[in-house]
Amino acid sequence: MRLALAGINHRTAPVELREKLAFRPDEIPNALVHIQQKGATEALILSTCNRVELMAALSNGTPPEALLEGMLAGRGGLTFETVRSHFYLYEDREAIRHLFRVASSLDSMIVGEPQILGQLKQAYYVSREHGGIGTVLEPVLTKAFSVAKRIRSETEIGQNAVSVSYAGVELAREIFGTLNKKRVLILGAGKMSEGAARHLLRAGAEIVITNRTPERANELARLFQGQVLPYELFPQRLNEIDIVIASSAAPGYVVTCEMVRRAIEIRKNQPVFLIDIAVPRNIDPAINSLEHAFLYDIDDLQRLSERNLQARRDVAQQAEKIISEEVMRLEAKLRERDVTPTILSFQEQLETIRQEVLTRYRGKLGALTLDQEQALEALTRSIVNKIAHGPISEMRRQAHQGEFVSAVRRMFRLGDH
């Protein structure tokens, strides 16, 4: 059984490609089934605004590239040849290392952001609910969660932690200088929208919220002293808005070029700033062609990420050291687990031989006292344990060397395990 991880992220692929490969929550159960039909015995899909990744346990004979083909199934007509250069593919140790880095937010656009761990846990729960988590992925993922917790406890990576929604608000602040009294429309009412609203409130902005589900919009407005704009009315009221931050789960563009053009005309050419932090994108990129309209998408936040990474470089190095330690520990544990059936068979074989020899020679020893019986039992067990100690220790130490374990099985005629 091998472990493999395939994916793309904000460094390897532009948002135009990431949005085509992104999975909606309702698509994931069927996708997990499809991946398992491709030869994965277990699988997990992590799909966020910055990454789409698939981790799987592969049966013998299944090439890791099958994961890439599985991810592309039904994904907007994309072919393996056209997107291969954007993907990364890791196996075994490197797959574990990458997962630990993702869980710990070292691989995030904004290093130290707390949201990714929750997203990974949610992906784990969904996969487990649909039969995608078993004896291979379970220990790897639970260890990833504990590694992330350890890094947050032992380093300052979470100090002043930021998120993509925070970076979007900071970008708006850079553009305007101040957000005080600026009218900001938050399109969507999910977790990222909630994060944006929190930062906007601190910056003194006037918050307007619109969402397809009015109950959720009302809840967010109460939390952050905002106004609710009915979803069907926001296109006509766009001219009242200075900044649009879009983060809804809509599968396509909900802010069109024509909407923004009309809003700018009514505003008498006062600029409109739009920040799209959704994947798939909510705002038509053609808006960039309009005069007085300034659109930024999630990839434009990369420069804030680079600034953030530089400030956290020392902390990141501490975290990388912890990850290296934990990868080695997990590898040792997994190797020992994999070789355990052979060790148990070896011990059972030696015990069978001990019992056979005792049975054969006990009659020649005559009547034995209870103390003598116990001494004979202890003597033979001690001999067997001394014989077994060396091979068992070596099997645990060289569990990654399949040839050695196979040689032990052949020498002691243990059969297949």
Cβ contact 121:48 at 8 Å: no
Q: Which positions ≥6 away from 90 have C-beta within 8 Å?
A: 4, 5, 6, 97, 98
**Residue 299 near residue 275 (C-beta atoms within 8 A):** no
Contact between 7 and 72 (Cβ < 8 Å): no
Side-chain-side CA neighbours of 370 within 13 Å: the count stands at 0
Name residues whose C-beta falls within 8 Å of residue 121's C-beta, 6 or more positions apart in sequence. Answer: 145
In the residue annotation, 257 being an active-site residue is answered as: no
Catalytic-labelled residue, pool 45, 49, 162, 228: 49
What letter does residue 243 receive in the DSSP assignment? E
Neighbours of 354 (CB within 10 A): 16
Long-range contacts of range 382-390, CB-CB < 8 Å, 24 or more positions apart?
384/350, 384/351, 384/353, 384/354, 387/350, 388/346, 388/347, 388/350
199 within 8 A of 332, measured Cβ to Cβ:
no
Strand partners, 53: 7, 46
**Residue recorded with tokens 């019992």:** 355
Task: Give the C-alpha separation, 217 to 187, whole Å.
Answer: 9
What residues does 72 pair with on adjacent strands?
Answer: none
Q: What is the dihedral of CA 150, 156, 160, 166, to 10 degrees?
A: -60
Per the CB < 8 A criterion, the answer to whether 269 and 292 are in contact is yes
Cα–Cα dist 125/145, whole Å: 13
Give me the residue label for tokens 């202890």: 378
In contact, 107 and 9? CB cutoff 8 Å: yes
Calpha distance 199→30 (Å, rounded): 37
Query: Could you tell me how far CA 281 lies from the centroid of its own chain?
Result: 21
User: What is the distance, to the nearest Å, from the Cα of residue 391 to the centroid of all Cα atoms in its chain?
Assistant: 38
Hey, which residues are catalytic here?
A: 49
